[in-house]
Structure 1
């Protein structure tokens, strides 16, 4: 499968790219700084560009079977603007133009899925985010809305506490109030879940919460 990855130089994005290549997929990654990926592979194509560059985004998506976004907003309180929201809209537009329908991305349980039942995370996490990371929350809301309001075949994995630890191979997934999903999860396991969604149809047009 040919997969386009955005956010490939981030903590989760690097692992996604590596796992895709290990699984035999063809990968195209758009990045501002290709050197940061520190990875070469005959099945990896790097395109230098920014999310604000419509032509670069379109080039990255052309010929893809699916798009994975490992993009995440800055947690700095000084952060302003909505570059990732705007960039996600550009990605969605390019996917429509190129007739690519499968999108896999990330968010947090601060954002609810319609399948959720009332849960403490719906009350606590948005309040904490607004106080500590107001711009990051705005970005997450905007990024998610850009995808879920489209007709794309999306899966958005909601994560709470990503950790830099070895993969456990254990994943819980589902909807708040329905399924036993915790908070902490290794970045390697998050990446594995994301890659698995290329062939897993359980969560199409859904936002499952995931954890170890």
Structure 2
């Protein structure tokens, strides 16, 4: 499939691109910093370099895609201001609507519940930590997710906390709070692999599975 990846040069995004290529997909990578584009992408990945506020560049990146993957994550810099990724997500969804792209796969926080979940101690704790320690980043995550889940897209939101730079695990916990035992830590490589797998899998359309080790 033709897949456009936003946040493609980030820690999880670059691993997601690698997973998609390994699965035989054609990838367009949207990134802000050309210095972060891996040399291994040469002639294998179409790269669009632009800010997430660039409506025309986003439209160009989405044109021809069958699936959009967003590995965008908020800045953890306490001096950061505004909610640029909320506006960027709005631009992405608008471009998808323009070009008839319906499938969206993104990332989110467990403090945003799956449509069929009820709050648990764990989801409440994660929400409390986000609101207290990184309120701007937390608001950005919530705003991005709200736009996606209220859109007409066939969305899947992959939820996780505490991503680590650990090797791929043989077993990954996948499910929903209150019915599945979900931990806190998960490797970025596992997040990328699970995210890429959703491109070919409709199991979690309209759902927000949580993953952990």
Structure 2 contact 113–119 (Cα < 8 Å) conserved? no
Match runs of 1:159-178 below 5 Å: 159-178=160-179
**Which deviates more, 99-108 or 121-130?**
121-130
Structure 1 contact 169–189 (Cα < 8 Å) conserved? no
CA displacement 1:91-119 (0-9 Å, x = unmatched): 00000000000000001112112211331
1:43 to partner: Cα distance: 2.8
1:8 aligns with 2:1: no
Instruction: Report the equivalent of 1:96.
Output: 97
1:32 to partner: Cα distance: 1.6
**Which deviates more, 32-41 or 63-72?**
32-41
TM-score by structure 2 length? 0.96
1:172 to partner: Cα distance: 1.4
CA displacement 1:70-110 (0-9 Å, x = unmatched): 00001122221000000000000000000000000001112
Query: Hey, what's the Cα distance between the residues in 2 that align with 1:51 and 1:164?
Result: 26
Runs of 4+ in structure 1 over 4 Å off: none
TM-score by structure 1 length? 0.96
1:149 aligns with 2:150: yes
1:35 aligns with 2:51: no
CA displacement 1:30-70 (0-9 Å, x = unmatched): 11212202232433000111111111001001100100000
Match runs of 1:63-212 below 5 Å: 63-212=64-213
Structure 1 contact 77–132 (Cα < 8 Å) conserved? no
Structure 1 residue ranges without an equivalent (≥5):
none
Structure 2 residue ranges without an equivalent (≥5):
none
Aligned length: 212
1:158 to partner: Cα distance: 0.5
